[in-house]
């Protein structure tokens, strides 16, 4: 199986980020996970949310951000990897001056139905 980033149409997820699904069971036919590239524009913060079943890994490939992971808030930069366990409230804000780009791996694969938006607890 192979996919090419330039041939993948972006879409907006329930949390408000724009993603391109690089590999997803519903498209390419892989089995147990999905891989996407997410983009968060300068000054934008995704909506606080959690996933009921999916564990996510975020790998920062461009930019600087502030990650909220349950009660922890911390800076993320290029080269950082964050593990988001199922049920954990999270969001990310672009605090830099360029688009924040993140590789997102979900297992099981990303699904809008698995995403629960939460009220802002700040």
pTM of the model as a whole: 0.91
Q: Contact, 76 vs 92, CB < 8 A?
A: yes
Q: Hey, what CATH class is 5-115 in?
A: mainly beta
pLDDT tens digits for the chain (122 residues)?
A: 888 988 999 998 888 889 999 999 988 889 999 999 999 999 999 999 999 999 999 999 999 999 999 999 999 999 999 999 999 999 999 999 999 999 999 999 998 899 999 975 44
Q: What is the pLDDT of residue 122?
A: 46
Residue 44, Cβ density class (10 Å: 0-12 exposed, 13-18 middle, ≥19 buried): middle
Q: Give the pLDDT confidence score for residue 121 in this predicted structure.
A: 47
């Amino acid at each position: 199986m192979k996919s090419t980033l330039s041939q993948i149409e972006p879409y907006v997820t329930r949390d408000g980020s724009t993603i391109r699904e690089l590999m997803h069971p519903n498209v390419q036919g892989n089995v147990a996970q999905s891989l996407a590239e997410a983009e968060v524009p300068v000054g934008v913060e995704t909506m606080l949310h959690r996933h009921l079943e999916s564990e996510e890994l975020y790998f920062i490939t461009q930019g600087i951000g502030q990650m909220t992971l349950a009660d922890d808030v911390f800076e993320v930069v290029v080269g950082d990897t964050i593990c988001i366990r199922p049920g954990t409230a999270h969001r990310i804000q672009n605090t830099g001056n360029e688009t924040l780009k993140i590789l997102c791996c979900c297992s099981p694969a990303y699904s809008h139905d698995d995403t629960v938006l939460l009220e802002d607890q700040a």
